[in-house]
Amino acid sequence: MTAMHDFLDKLWSMEFGIALLGVLTGGGFTILGSWLQSRSSNRAAALAQAQANAQRSFDALTELGALLEAQTFQGMGTGDTRAGWNRDLRSHIARANSAIMLLPDRHEATRSQVLAVLRMLKNWEGLPPWPEYRLRARLLLSEALKFLGLFVRGSGVPKRRGMEEVIAKEIDLYKRQRAQLELESLSFFSVGAPG
């Protein structure tokens, strides 16, 4: 019995208590450190996934922009050219929407602005004529790409612009420049070409 008593005295000695307290404290801090590290890793993984989704949307809209610039429709186009363009437009917008909808609620400002701009991209029905339609689509695409590009780079969300006002100003400027060119060409022919 004395041997058991000596063993229990040694077991509950001050050194054992300190060692036990050290083990519990060290284990607790290890668990806390692991939890904090996994939490920050989860946040980083979620941000990387959100940026990858935004990049997919960015790529789809960049392809649409390249396709827009490659089109050489004249005036109101034909029914077939408009139908072909509208198919391409809807296809690219659907790809962009599906990726941007996966952004978490934390990034609602980016998601809502891009979706609002994409909703403004309408089918081309012949009016306005192609040059004005292309200008409008180009402005809307550049606005959506700006928001997505800044998000992918990790920058802040830019201030929202009233796109209808921006588009109206740009179309007005386009029409004035076109009228000026026509006026200059008419004055050239009315004075007479040299020769």
pLDDT tens across the length of the chain (195 residues):
667 667 666 666 666 667 766 777 777 667 766 666 666 666 777 778 888 889 999 999 999 999 999 988 888 888 899 999 999 999 999 999 999 998 888 888 889 999 999 999 999 998 888 889 999 999 999 999 999 999 988 888 888 888 889 899 988 988 888 888 888 877 766 655 554
Assigned domain for 5 exists: no
Range of the domain at 150: 16-189
In a domain, 96, yes or no: yes
Cα angle: 86, vertex 124, 54; to 5 degrees = 55
Does any domain span residue 2?
no
User: Does a structural domain hold residue 44?
Assistant: yes
Q: Is the dihedral of CA 164, 166, 168, 170 positive or negative?
A: negative
User: H helices then E strands: how many in the chain?
Assistant: 6, 0
Which parts of 71-107 fold into alpha helices (H)?
79-100
The structural domain count of the chain equals 1
Per residue in 154-166, is it b (16+ CB within 10 Å) or e — as a string? eeeeeeeeebeee
Residue 6 counted as domain residue: no
pLDDT of residue 162: 87
In a domain, 7, yes or no: no
Residue 56 lies in a domain: yes
CA dihedral angle for residue 161, residue 117, residue 130, residue 178, rounded to 10 degrees: 10
The residue length of the chain stands at 195
Domain assignment present for 195? no
